[in-house]
Amino acid sequence: MDSIVVTGGGELRGEIPIAGAKNACLTLMPATLLSEEPLTLTNAPRLSDIKTMTQLLESLGAEAASMQDGQVLTMSSHDLDNHVAEYDIVRKMRASNLVLGPMLARLGHAVVSLPGGCAIGARPMDLHIYGLEKLGAEIDLRDGYLHAKAPRGLKGAEIELSFASVGATENILMASTLAKGTTVIRNAAREPEIVDLATCLRKMGAQIEGDGTSEIVVQGVDRLHGATHPVVTDRIELGTYMLAPAIAGGEVECLGGRISLVENFCEKLDAAGIQVEETKRGLKVARKNGRVSAVDVTTEPFPGFPTDLQAQMMAMLCTAEGTSTLHETIFENRFMHAPELTRMGANIEVHGGTATVHGVEKLKGAPVMATDLRASVSLILAGMAAEGETIVSRVYHLDRGYEKVVRKLSSIGAKIERIKE
Ligand code: UD1
């Protein structure tokens, strides 16, 4: 297993291109199952999770081709000859569950293993099941697999989600595009990835209104056709690289970034004393002098502070002046980076869903272990401001969500390398 070695010190300067969003691409790809015609995605990120989704779609009978070094993906689901999403693939990535809604809508039946993914909480699927059952599906759990069928086809319905789950909204939205009649999804997730999915589905012929708000209305159509769609910018990769100069000092422009993708996060950076400026090319981030100030953060569904940036934000707050509080409200077990940061000299207390971070002047490099995708990158960020060398092991998590991370961070002056073990 590879490790990443980061040596702290030195300001960062330059620009980093931000890739297409992993989480958008992982829901756009299964949308191909809704149509017999090809779907082409441009600006796709080059990540192992995207390869896993490709494998899953291929296992169902879809054909997939990638061009331009993986940035353009064309998928065709003309002949789907399998309706079972096997545990061997699904366990690698929770987003695999996003094939359930489209397969059910297109084929009238689907069998999908319960997923795995990051070990950051229980992450059940009750809301996906509730929504699809409202649309007329019959679903039971046998041998670790969800067996879903819609013998009389799917029918539009009014669905109120008890929590604005991103995945449940996506699965229900995709399924409802081919349901008969009108579907209303209330308390729908409002993430930019949902808007991106709805935009692509509209290009495929779906009739959807209200995406980006809490109420999405879908008028079912008989069939969807092919389309070409560029994947929206990855707001989590964007926020992560915005934190690099905020933690290590210097000035970095994140190309393709827009404030609207990370507004709440930018407000917190501003409160911490970090300058963010929207330019024609992206977002320019600078920390000119002194320590950052402590800030309090509560993770919330969009447009609130994203849970996927909580670990990276904590890395910055470890060396802030004063005490910060981080409340995690989305996942119950998402502070696994805290003990690793403590090994680097951070002063963090965790009680349930709250972490209290007492800022220290300096972190010290240490061998640490990546426990999930966002935790891994938070340790790299912390290492860039720490004294000496930080060795992050188990970095395979990183390959799931950050393309060319070593190359991108080296290009702005970070001392970072990947070593094979
Ligand atoms: C997506 C993102 C993930 C991000 C998360 C929250 C993808 C591929 N992943 O995950 O990076 O951290 O949104 O922004 O897009 N829940 C239930 N029942 C359900 C579904 C979810 O209780 O049926 C709970 C989960 O356990 C969790 C919370 O809702 O506590 C958020 O989950 P959800 O919004 O569904 O996240 P994902 O779609 O899994």
Per-residue DSSP letter, 161: -
> 4-58, pLDDT tens digit by residue?
999 998 899 999 999 999 999 999 999 999 999 999 999 999 999 999 999 999 9
Whether ligand 1 lies within 6 angstroms of the CB of 8 is answered as no
Whether ligand 1 lies within 6 angstroms of the CB of 171 is answered as no
Examine the domain organization and report whether 223 and 251 are in the same domain: no
> 131-150, pLDDT tens digit by residue?
999 999 999 999 889 999 99
User: Measured between alpha carbons, how far is 78 from 72 in angstroms, rounded to an integer?
Assistant: 19
Its domain, for residue 179, covers 22-230
Whether ligand 1 lies within 6 angstroms of the CB of 331 is answered as yes
Give the residue numbers marked as catalytic. 118
Examine the domain organization and report whether 31 and 89 are in the same domain: yes
The predicted pLDDT at position 121 comes to: 54
Q: Candidates 26, 48, 166, 336: which one to mutate for ligand 1, based on the most atoms within 8 Å of Cβ?
A: 166
230 is an annotated ligand-binding site residue:
no
Whether ligand 1 lies within 6 angstroms of the CB of 123 is answered as yes
User: Measured between alpha carbons, how far is 259 from 46 in angstroms, rounded to an integer?
Assistant: 24
Measure 58 CA to ligand 1 centroid, in angstroms: 25
The predicted pLDDT at position 123 comes to: 63
Examine the domain organization and report whether 220 and 255 are in the same domain: no
User: Measured between alpha carbons, how far is 302 from 314 in angstroms, rounded to an integer?
Assistant: 19
Measure 315 CA to ligand 1 centroid, in angstroms: 23
Average pLDDT over residues 93-101: 94
Q: What angle do CA 330, 335, 336 make, to 5 degrees?
A: 130
Which ligand 1 atom is the nearest neighbour of the CA of 123? 26
Examine the domain organization and report whether 58 and 118 are in the same domain: yes
Examine the domain organization and report whether 279 and 391 are in the same domain: yes
Q: Does the pLDDT value for residue 172 go beyond 80?
A: yes
Whether ligand 1 lies within 6 angstroms of the CB of 308 is answered as yes
Confidence of residue 397 (pLDDT cuts 50, 70, 90): confident
> What is the domain-level CATH number for residue 171?
3.65.10.10
* Pairing of β 3-7 and β 389-393: antiparallel
Last residue of a domain, one of 209, 230, 251: 230
Per-residue DSSP letter, 421: -
The predicted pLDDT at position 290 comes to: 84
**How far out from the chain centre does Cα 19 lie?**
12
Whether ligand 1 lies within 6 angstroms of the CB of 95 is answered as yes
Last residue of a domain, one of 230, 262, 284: 230
- Put simply, whether the predicted model's pTM sits higher than 0.95 gets the answer yes
CA-nearest residue, atom 11 of ligand 1: 308
Q: What is the mean pLDDT of the chain?
A: 95
Query: What Rg, from alpha-carbon coordinates, does the chain have?
Result: 21
Which ligand 1 atom is the nearest neighbour of the CA of 164? 34
> 353-392, pLDDT tens digit by residue?
999 999 999 999 999 998 888 999 999 999 999 999 999 9
Burial 175-198 (b: 16+ CB within 10 A, else e): bbbbbbeebbbebbbbbbbbbbbb
Number of domains in the chain: 2
Measure 53 CA to ligand 1 centroid, in angstroms: 17
380 is an annotated ligand-binding site residue:
no
Which ligand 1 atom is the nearest neighbour of the CA of 306? 14
